[in-house]
Amino acid sequence: MATRTRNLGSSSSMFRRKPIEQIGSSSGGSHSLKAALGLRQLTAIGVGGIIGAGIFSLAGAVAHGTAGPAVLISFLIAGIASAAAAFSYAEFAGLIPKAGSAYTYGYAVLGEVVGWAIGWDLLLEYTAIVAVVAIGISGYFNDLLGFLQVGLPQWMLGAPGTEPATVAAGTYKINLFAVLLCLLIAWILNQGMQNAARFETLLVYLKVAVVIVVIVVGAFHIKAGNYNPFFPFGISGAFTGAATVFFAVFGYDAMSTAAEESKDSQKHMPKAILYSLAISMVLYVLACLVLTGMVNFRDISSESAFSSAFASIGLPALGAVIAIGAILGILTVLFTFLMGASRVGFSMSRDGLLPQWFGKTSKRRQVPSRMTWLLGASSAVIAGLLPIGEAAELTNIGILLAFVLVCISVIVLRYRRPDLPRGFKCPGMPFVPLIGIGFSLWLITFLDPHTWLRFGIWFAVGLVIYFAYGKRKSLLAPGNAEETPAETR
């Protein structure tokens, strides 16, 4: 049913859609990525993005003050809600095996301006997540220095406004370790996806090994009495906890941006998304069961739950090992989200919505080095100059909106183009995606008003750039667009 006409009527429309068959068709030469990732590496990247501060810090904080032993119910609820979105991502990943993830899916189904909005928001969200995680790791690093009694100048140990509040007169503070960490991850990503993925996979293996040690050793120190009461804050506490820990059960969305770098994306990417979420959820639930069984929820440390728990039962050495494993494990989150941000920016550039200079890949390694360094440097600035609370306020809303739009898109495309070959189909259509939409919208209501303000400012800036540049320079704009087959409507 294809005809030689422009897509979706006028190519000047901001809701123009590039046909599914044409997504990434402009790639090649300096705008192509190298397919280097297998199923094992893709799954490791997904696990690396999901398991991080959530299991090493957030689980303890929620157990202590929000849900008690029912924190494992919180993770199960969040996992079910996240799985609803994961099924939608998995269908798209098998259908559109191109870089960009939610940006690419939204562009193909809902139109260019919607795709731009998702991509623009994810650039901020993913970059800010990298900064927040880097700041968190630097906190562990500072504690380790204190334990080793190593003294460093205070000006390099925190952002302006953080403790200690005063340093030598005329000295400006910066979180130097967080800055260097962001730049290090950018450098690793620029060594080629195959080499970078090997580094990520090794760290993920170490992280999972630490979590398994925690579960196995901790299981011998469980006291059944610590589970009573199981709902000390009521059932509502478990649901409130689910809203908090939900941000620890995504990461597959950033991993899906690497679809174009998968050796067999249509088969492997859907599996990697579902495998990574399933593995992470099993580890989360077992770790929570052990933690709340070892220590009464009232005595769980909100900051270093597992290290403190093992120290309290006479195993401080294991606690130290866990702390080191936590640092290494959280590093994988930096890798996954900086990779995701760079692939979203690369896709937007390749489509002409951002200057194509940013989307050019290195000749030897075939990675978007310019975009990776730009976003790595941006995350370094945020990490170096903002306290963790302010940096964290830049995250979350864009990802939740991306979840909503991806779930909407999978429903729309299933009915608009039922003829498309799908390597994986989201089950329970349309009810499963609707669950993802509902839960994501519900979580958005929990966000701080300052988050909405920052999001509104960033979104407004993005619209100015789109109408001033992207709409005219898009490959689908008049004079730039090629004649393409119209979508079946």
Domain boundaries, the chain: 53-469
Cα-Cα-Cα-Cα torsion 255, 261, 266, 272, nearest 10 degrees, comes to -30
**H or E segment to which residue 484 belongs:** strand 484-485
| pLDDT bracket for residue 289 (50, 70, 90) | very high
pLDDT higher than 90, residue 183:
yes
| pLDDT bracket for residue 182 (50, 70, 90) | very high
Whether residue 20 contacts residue 417, with contact meaning beta carbons closer than 8 Å, is answered with yes
Whether residue 112 contacts residue 9, with contact meaning beta carbons closer than 8 Å, is answered with no
470 Cβ neighbours under 8 A, 6+ residues apart: 116, 348, 352, 353, 354
The neighbouring-strand residues paired with 262 are 37
The neighbouring-strand residues paired with 484 are 5
pLDDT higher than 80, residue 342:
yes
Percent pLDDT > 90 in the chain is 31
Q: Which of these ranges, 49-53, 274-278, 339-343, has the smallest mean pLDDT?
A: 49-53
CATH fourth-level superfamily of 53-469: Amino acid/polyamine transporter I (1.20.1740.10)
DSSP-based helix, strand, coil % in the chain, nearest 5? 70, 0, 30
Average per-residue pLDDT in the chain?
Answer: 82
- Find the mean pLDDT for residues 229-239: 90
467 Cβ neighbours under 8 A, 6+ residues apart: none
| pLDDT bracket for residue 146 (50, 70, 90) | low
Distances (CA, A) of 471 to 24, 59, 161, 192: 18, 44, 41, 32
- Find the mean pLDDT for residues 181-192: 92
| pLDDT bracket for residue 99 (50, 70, 90) | confident
Q: What is the pLDDT of residue 388?
A: 64
Q: What are phi and psi of 262, to 5 degrees?
A: -90, 140
| pLDDT bracket for residue 340 (50, 70, 90) | very high
264 Cβ neighbours under 8 A, 6+ residues apart: 39
CA pair distance 55, 60, nearest whole angstrom: 8
**Encoding tokens for residue 173?**
């503070």
For 146, counting Cβ atoms within 10 Å of its Cβ (0-12 exposed, 13-18 middle, 19+ buried), the class is exposed
pLDDT higher than 50, residue 129:
yes
Q: What is the pLDDT of residue 156?
A: 60
HSE value, Cβ hemisphere, 13 Å, CA-based, for 339: 35
Q: What is the pLDDT of residue 394?
A: 65
**Which candidate, 136, 26, 4, places its Cα nearest to that of 484?**
4
Whether residue 77 contacts residue 69, with contact meaning beta carbons closer than 8 Å, is answered with no
- Find the mean pLDDT for residues 405-425: 90
